[in-house]
Each structure stands twice: as C-alpha cells, then as structure tokens.
C-alpha cells in the first residue's frame, strides 16, 4: 500500500517504520493510514531503555509538559498539521469533528496543568522530597511505587490520553500502546513530548498486536488498561494494574422538576457524540418516567446525521457493518421495553459505506432493569422509574452520578458508596471534568505512596 499516510512507532531509538504495517480504516472502510506494528523484541528493548532511563527533575518535567501542550495544539507531527490531525481522527473514529477539536484542546490544557494537577493528590501530611526540612523531624515523603508505567490505551475518544500525562508529571517513564483504531492522538502527543524534551528513554509509543499487549503491561512496574468488563475482571486482583472500565454514568432525578434540567440531561447523553464513559447511560426518575423519556427523545430526534468531519456533526459515525451490529445488539436487548426513539433501529447510512448512529431512548419498567447497565458508543439512554424505596442500589457501579433533588441523606449515601466514583449534585452534566479534580480517583493515589523519612 504505497503512498498511504504512515503512523510510525516511536521507540527507544526514535521513529520506527515497521515492515509489518496495518491499515487504519476510516468510517467507510478505506485505508486512512498505515500503522507500524512492532514485535515483542522491539517492546522488550524499548522497555529496557525506559528502565535504564533517568527521569527529568520535577521542574523540568513541568516546563516540558507546557511546551508539549503548545506543540500538541499547534505543531506539525508525522506530516499532519493540527487541523489535518483532527480531521483524520474524526474520519477514523467517527467522532464529530467538534468533539475531536474540543478533546484536543482538553489534552493540551491537561498537559499544561499536569504538574499542578498531579500534585493535587499529595497527601496533606506528606512532602515531595526527602530534602524538605520537614524530614529533619521525620515526615512522610511522597514517592513513586515504580519507575516504568505502561498504558494500554483505548481508541473510543481522544480524551483518554489526557489521563496519563499526570504519570509523566510525577516522574514516571511511560510506554503507551495506542489503540490500533485511533493511533493518531497518542502518536501526536508522544511526538510532541519528545520534541518538548522527554527523551526516547522516558516515553515511547508501541503499537502492537494483541498478543504482545500483555508483554507491555507485564514488563512495566505499573500499568493502566482500558477495556470492558472482561479487562476489569482480568486485572481485578492485580494491584499493579489500574483499569478503566465501562462508565455506566447515570442521572438521578430524585424529586425536582425535571423540565428545568432537560438541557443538562440531553447534553449528558449526547455530548461527545455519546461515546465517552462519562455520557449518561441511564436516567432514573422519581415519578413517571414517560414524560421525561418523551422529552429527551424529542430533543435527540433533532440531531442531524452527517459525516463526522462536518462542522455541524453531533452523532458518531461507524462503518455500516459495525453500525448494524450495534443496532442488532441494541434491539435484542431492548425487547420488552418501551421505545421512545430508535424502535426500528438507529442506523442511518450516509451512502459511502458509513452510517451515523442515531440516538435511542428506551423506557424500562424498574430501576434495577438490567438494561440500565448497557453502555453503547452513541447517544443511547435507558429511562427508568425510581423511588426512595429503591435506594441507591440501582446506581451502583457508575463512574458518575448526577443527582438532582433529593435530601442530604441520599447524597450522603451516594458519596459514601464505594462503587460510585463521582457524584455531581445539581444541574451538572455527567461529563463535567476539570484538571485537578479526579476523573476516577487521582492517578497519584495509584502511582504514589508515602514513606517515612527522618534525615536529621
């Protein structure tokens, strides 16, 4: 396939164009680029280089991250300008271009602030260096649990790459395995970090096939892995691996007048094209859920089906076959529910081999209906009745719960529930995020530990 755009590996010796390259298809199935796939030996040597590497001092890390933020936002990497990069991501991931652009801007912001936000996790009693005066009396020093951190990344949304920047800020050396579906974002970010001063013995990009992915995780000290329930289960008892699994974010309308919050609800379902773990999967309604479902459906129905690179695009686009498979899955699981939108399917073909995934709104009969846990990569929401007697059980295992109305006892129990990871009280969309406020706990809680140092 000569003439295709190339996405190289960024290994211990710099960019590497492999003999073994894989096509990265766009939403029509056409080859958008070729990705170099590196073998096990390459991974082994790059990980060895990271292990031998020396991290930059904290201050230099902060400066290099800021510089990388600018380069990522505006530079030219792998032959792609910022604009071309965003277009490319949109075409291969099917994410609406405005979503990609916003995500790129968030990644740059996160890089700029990574040094500050990473240290937001610093325990109040701890200092960051043994040379701090506090250690003369004996003090906790915040230290890394390891040196080399591996990221087995997802490709659903560029935003996933904002998370691991804090590991770099904390002085870890990183191996990033990109998703083979969307390698452009991590390529651009790692290339920018290299140019900004992080050496190839401090961060590498290792595109590999599935069989080598475990090597990266196993050879690092600590790792971050994205995936479904299977990945979460696989690493459940592995204290070296942090997983980012399904979000299953929810909105609980616990009593307030829901009409005032309709914008927030619709936005929570459909912002980011409905592709993020922070998009609302279920809305639980105290009272009759039907008018809520109807109102959400009315609003979502208006979203246009457009190619992803269209400025007005809001819905995700997939190859027709993939879209049809999702549709079948949805309709099979929606049996026995009341359809407000998407009764006859969600696929609208765009005529070029791709299809927009249109929103779906289904009403289920119980707060604990199993459908409320079905998270799909487009605006798809399950609306359920809820009453205080249901308690918070139906809201467990959620990345985000936005709760509107409800008393302090309810909010207390949501905040105390270990399997609910973020709670937003009031008219705040489930996708709300800000650097310095944890997305799924501070990464620093996983990467760092305190140790006592007495240095008088």
Partner 1 sequence: MAQHSSYSDPILDCPATETPRPEELIEAAMKWHFSPQTGSPYWLERAKSLPFDPIRDVRTFEDLKLFPNVANELRDVRAEDLIPRGYASLSDLYGVYESGGTTGAPKRVVCMVDWMDRWLAFSQRHLDARGVPRGLNWLALMPDGPHIFGAALREGARRSSGILFTIDMDPRWVKKCIAEGRAEDAGRYAEHLIHQARFLLQTQDAGVLITTPPLLERIAKYDDLVELINRKIKIIQWGGAHMDADTRRLFQTEVFPGIQMQGGYGSTMVLGGSLERTDAGGTDWCIFDPLSPYISFSVVDPATGHPVPYGQRGQVVMNHISKGMLLVNNLERDTAVRVEPPPGQMGDSVADVKPVASFDNQQVIEGVY
Residues within the interface to partner 1 (CB under 8 A)? 13, 18-20, 37-42, 44-45, 48
User: Which residue, 7 or 196, is less far from partner 1 as judged by CB?
Assistant: 7
**Closest CB 20 distance from partner 1, rounded Å:** 6
Helix H, strand E, coil C: the string for the chain is: CCCCCEECEEECCEEECCCCEEEEECCCCCEEEEEECCCHHHHHHHHHHHHHCCCCCHHHHHHHHHHHHHHHHHCCECCECHHHHHHHHHHHHCCCHHHHHHHHHHHHHHHHHHHHHHHHHCCCCEECCCCCHHHHHCEEEEEECCCEEEEECCCCCHHHHHCCHHHHHCCCEEEEECCCCCCHHHHHHHHHHHHCCCCCCCEEECCCCHHHHHHHHHHCCEEEEECCHHHHHHCCCCCCEEEECCCCEEEEECCCCHHHHHHHHHHHHHHHHHCCCCCEEEEEEECCHHHHHHHHHHHHHCCCCCCCCCCCCCCCEEEHHHHHHHHHHHHHHCCCCEEEECCCCCEEECCCCEEEECCEEEECCCCCCHHHHCCCCCCEEEEEEECHHHCCHHHCCEEEEEEECCCHHHHHHHHHCCCEEEEEECCCCCCCCCCCCCCCCCHHHHHEEEEEECCC
**Closest CB 34 distance from partner 1, rounded Å:** 14
User: Which residue, 215 or 375, is less far from partner 1 as judged by CB?
Assistant: 215
**Closest CB 178 distance from partner 1, rounded Å:** 17
**Closest CB 1 distance from partner 1, rounded Å:** 13
User: Which residue, 18 or 347, is less far from partner 1 as judged by CB?
Assistant: 18
Choose among 446, 433, 441: nearest CA to 170: 446
User: Which residue, 89 or 212, is less far from partner 1 as judged by CB?
Assistant: 212
**Closest CB 244 distance from partner 1, rounded Å:** 25
User: Which residue, 40 or 312, is less far from partner 1 as judged by CB?
Assistant: 40
**Closest CB 234 distance from partner 1, rounded Å:** 13
User: Which residue, 208 or 371, is less far from partner 1 as judged by CB?
Assistant: 208
User: Which residue, 4 or 51, is less far from partner 1 as judged by CB?
Assistant: 51
**Closest CB 188 distance from partner 1, rounded Å:** 23
User: Which residue, 21 or 173, is less far from partner 1 as judged by CB?
Assistant: 21
**Closest CB 262 distance from partner 1, rounded Å:** 51
B/e letters for 307-328, b = 16+ CB within 10 Å, e = fewer, are bbbeeebbbbbbbbebbbebbe
User: Which residue, 101 or 173, is less far from partner 1 as judged by CB?
Assistant: 173
User: Which residue, 207 or 247, is less far from partner 1 as judged by CB?
Assistant: 207
């Amino acid at each position: 396939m000569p003439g295709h755009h190339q996405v190289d590996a960024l290994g211990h010796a710099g960019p590497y164009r492999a003999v073994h390259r894989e096509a990265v298809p766009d939403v029509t199935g056409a080859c958008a680029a070729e990705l170099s796939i590196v073998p096990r030996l390459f991974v082994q040597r790059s990980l060895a280089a990271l292990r031998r590497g020396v991290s930059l001092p904290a201050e230099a890390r902060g400066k290099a991250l800021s510089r990388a933020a600018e380069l990522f936002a505006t530079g030219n990497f792998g032959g792609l300008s910022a604009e071309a990069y965003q277009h490319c991501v949109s075409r291969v991931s099917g994410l609406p271009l405005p979503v990609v652009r916003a995500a790129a801007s968030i990644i740059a912001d996160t890089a700029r602030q990574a040094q500050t936000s990473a240290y937001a996790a610093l325990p109040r009693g701890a200092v960051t260096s043994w040379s701090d005066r506090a250690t003369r009396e004996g003090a906790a020093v915040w230290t890394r649990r390891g040196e080399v951190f591996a990221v087995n990344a997802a490709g659903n949304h560029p935003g996933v790459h904002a998370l691991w920047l804090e590991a770099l800020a904390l002085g870890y050396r990183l191996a990033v395995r990109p998703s083979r579906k969307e390698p452009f974002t991590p390529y651009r970010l790692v290339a920018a970090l290299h140019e900004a001063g992080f050496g190839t013995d401090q961060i590498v990009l290792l595109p590999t096939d599935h069989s080598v992915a475990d090597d990266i995780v196993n050879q690092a000290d600590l790792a971050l892995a994205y995936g479904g329930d299977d990945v979460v289960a696989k690493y459940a008892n592995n204290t070296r691996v942090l997983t980012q699994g399904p979000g299953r974010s929810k909105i609980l309308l616990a009593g307030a007048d829901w009409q005032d919050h309709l914008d927030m609800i619709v936005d929570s379902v459909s912002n980011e094209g409905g592709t993020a773990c922070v998009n609302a999967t279920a809305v639980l309604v105290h009272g009759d859920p039907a008018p809520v479902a109807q109102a959400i459906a009315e609003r979502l129905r208006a979203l246009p089906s457009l190619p992803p690179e269209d400025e007005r695009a809001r819905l995700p686009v997939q190859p027709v076959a993939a879209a049809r498979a999702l549709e079948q899955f949805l309709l099979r699981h929606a049996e026995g529910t009341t359809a407000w939108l998407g009764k006859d399917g969600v696929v609208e073909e765009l005529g070029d081999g791709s299809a927009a995934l249109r929103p779906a709104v289904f009403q289920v009969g119980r707060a604990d209906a199993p459908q409320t846990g079905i998270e799909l990569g487009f605006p798809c929401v399950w609306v359920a009745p809820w009453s205080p007697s249901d308690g918070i059980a139906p809201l467990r295992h959620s990345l985000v719960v936005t709760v509107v109305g409800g008393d302090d006892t309810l909010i207390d129990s949501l905040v105390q529930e270990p399997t609910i990871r973020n709670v937003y009280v009031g008219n705040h969309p489930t996708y709300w995020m800000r650097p310095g406020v944890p997305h799924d706990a501070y990464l620093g809680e996983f990467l760092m530990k305190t140790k006592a140092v007495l240095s008088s």
